[in-house]
Structure 1
Amino acid sequence: MNAIIVDDERLARNELKRLLEDFPRINIVAEAANADEAIELIEEHQPDLLFLDIQMPGKNGFELLEVLEDRVPEVIFTTAYDEYALKAFEYNALDYLMKPIDSARLAEAILKVEEEFKKATQVQTNVANHNYLTENDQVFVKDGEKCWFVKLGTVRLFESMGNYVRLHFEDQKPMILKSLNSLEERLDPKNYFRANRKHIINLQWVEKIEPWFSGGLLVTLKNGEKTTQIEKIEISRRQAIKFKDLMSL
């Protein structure tokens, strides 16, 4: 697994590299002292994993992830501040390590990385076998005490909520314990499209498409049978190019 360390402190980068020597599966391909350096290196190396500091000169770690849009690798935050933990998991971080980094906690984080890549391998196998969930499949959804048996074609929107995904169908919005990335790999790409970092839309529910800022698009979804709420989802600039290709003759 190729990784990049992003931290403005050289000593902190060196210490993390030393600790990672005990984990030969993690291959450090580059290191960056700030977000701008990191963006170029991520574009060049396409790493599987980022060890990412939060407080840095210029863009902070969260702003870096916003710039990456849909190219975000798995992320382990490394920081001296505990007040960002909740926000970190809103960005689907695998873990949040406090400095100075404890070797046992690092081992736990690496285990999470390995488990995530095992899941990804299984997903790739499913994709190779075209084992997608289609709009005709029905899935069981449980949120608290409520349960639904939902036909996927009725789900117009999947919304990332940290480590959960909120399903939008009819007037219901239950959450399931699953990442949006893992869910995306199971959904049939002919019917479901990753609009941005936080949303997957059901193409059958698209009502209107408008140009949006910075080359993006704004999609309006049809209302569910029991709701009058209008849902507008932004398609990021990078994904807008794919969307136009997908929807064109």
Structure 2
Amino acid sequence: MRAIVVDDERLARNELKRLLEEFPRITVIGEAANADEAIPMIEEMNPDLLFLDIQMPGKNGFELLEALEDTVPEVIFTTAYDEYALKAFEFNALDYIMKPIDSPRLAEAIQKIEEVIEKNKKEDAQESEGELSVHDQVFVKDGEKCWFVRLGKVRLFESMGNYVRLHFDDQKPMILKSLNSLEERLDSKIYFRANRKHIINLNYIDKIEPWFSGGLLVNLKAGETGPGGEKIEISRRQAIKFKDLMSL
């Protein structure tokens, strides 16, 4: 896996890189001392994994993740502070390692990463059946409720950590899938990755407005039995692709 180390302390970066030499599956492809350095590096190099400090000058680690416009890599937080642990897992972090980092604790985190990789490989193998069309019907179970819904009725897919929330009619069930794995199977002429958290059904776009920093804001129409009305931001980078796709 290709990793980037983000930490404002040079000695901490060097020590982590030294420890990572014990794990041949991890290749450090870059390092940054703050969010402003890290964000363009992440977007250009598209790493699989971030080792990310939280307290840094300028944007902190959480703000760095929020600033990423497209897919966010897997994240292991490395910090000297324990009070951010709960918030870290709200960002779907794989692990939260307290400094000073030792080799056994790092090995535990790497094992988690490898388990995630194997799980994703199995999911990819199971989902390599080909593209889903708007006419395909899918079975959705959320708790005690079940639906057999035509895919074309789903106006929005919303990432919720390891789950995806489906928005159709007035329902919002969640399924245990990643947004990336769904994107690979959806018809790209109908479903568009608006940002790192949302895929929208282009047939449900009601209105498009200019938004901050060159992005766009789309309003979605209601389904057959309501309610719709979601407002979804298309990131600056994705707005360029969207305009080409829609000939705007």
Tell whether the structures are fold-level matches, with TM greater than 0.5.
yes
Residue identity matched to 1:57: P
1:89–1:162 Cα contact (<8 Å) kept = no
Match of 1:106 in 2: 106
State the 1:117 CA deviation.
4.2
Q: How many pairs align? A: 248
State the 1:219 CA deviation.
0.9
**Relative to structure 1, is the Cα distance of residues 136 and 229 closer, same or farther in structure 2, using a 3 angstrom cutoff?**
closer
After superposition, the CA RMSD in angstroms is 2.6
**Relative to structure 1, is the Cα distance of residues 105 and 147 closer, same or farther in structure 2, using a 3 angstrom cutoff?**
farther
SS in 2 for 1:134: coil
> Whole-Å Cα distance in 2 between the matches of residues 102 and 152 of structure 1?
48
Match of 1:201 in 2: 200
1:157–1:168 Cα contact (<8 Å) kept = yes
Larger mean CA deviation between 141-150 and 9-18 belongs to 9-18
Larger mean CA deviation between 19-28 and 90-99 belongs to 90-99
Match of 1:78 in 2: 78
Match of 1:237 in 2: 236
Any unmatched runs of 5+ in structure 1? Answer: none
1:90–1:163 Cα contact (<8 Å) kept = no
Larger mean CA deviation between 140-149 and 34-43 belongs to 34-43
Match of 1:42 in 2: 42
Match of 1:137 in 2: 136
State the 1:230 CA deviation.
1.6
Q: Deviations over 1:100-135 (max 9, x none)?
A: 3353443343234334445666777899x7812222
**Relative to structure 1, is the Cα distance of residues 134 and 230 closer, same or farther in structure 2, using a 3 angstrom cutoff?**
same
Residue identity matched to 1:168: H
1:50–1:75 Cα contact (<8 Å) kept = yes
1:132–1:187 Cα contact (<8 Å) kept = yes
Question: Is 2:208 aligned against 1:215?
Answer: no
**Relative to structure 1, is the Cα distance of residues 50 and 100 closer, same or farther in structure 2, using a 3 angstrom cutoff?**
same
**Relative to structure 1, is the Cα distance of residues 187 and 18 closer, same or farther in structure 2, using a 3 angstrom cutoff?**
same
State the 1:157 CA deviation.
0.6
Match of 1:146 in 2: 145
Match of 1:58 in 2: 58
Residue identity matched to 1:89: F
**Relative to structure 1, is the Cα distance of residues 86 and 175 closer, same or farther in structure 2, using a 3 angstrom cutoff?**
farther
Any unmatched runs of 5+ in structure 2? Answer: none
Residue identity matched to 2:209: E
Q: Deviations over 1:177-229 (max 9, x none)?
A: 22222222232212211111211111121122222222111111110222234
> Whole-Å Cα distance in 2 between the matches of residues 71 and 166 of structure 1?
17
The two structures have a TM-score, normalised by structure 2, of 0.87
2:124–2:181 Cα contact (<8 Å) kept = no
> Whole-Å Cα distance in 1 between the matches of residues 102 and 126 of structure 2?
37
**Relative to structure 1, is the Cα distance of residues 46 and 12 closer, same or farther in structure 2, using a 3 angstrom cutoff?**
same
Q: Deviations over 1:129-167 (max 9, x none)?
A: 781222222222221221222221111111122222111
2:35–2:61 Cα contact (<8 Å) kept = yes
Residue identity matched to 1:111: Q
Residue identity matched to 1:245: D
Larger mean CA deviation between 95-104 and 213-222 belongs to 95-104
**Relative to structure 1, is the Cα distance of residues 115 and 23 closer, same or farther in structure 2, using a 3 angstrom cutoff?**
same
Larger mean CA deviation between 213-222 and 107-116 belongs to 107-116
The two structures have a TM-score, normalised by structure 1, of 0.87
Match of 2:13 in 1: 13
> Whole-Å Cα distance in 1 between the matches of residues 222 and 87 of structure 2?
31
The structure 1 segments of at least 4 consecutive aligned residues displaced by more than 6 Å after TM superposition are: 122-127
Question: Is 2:168 aligned against 1:164?
Answer: no
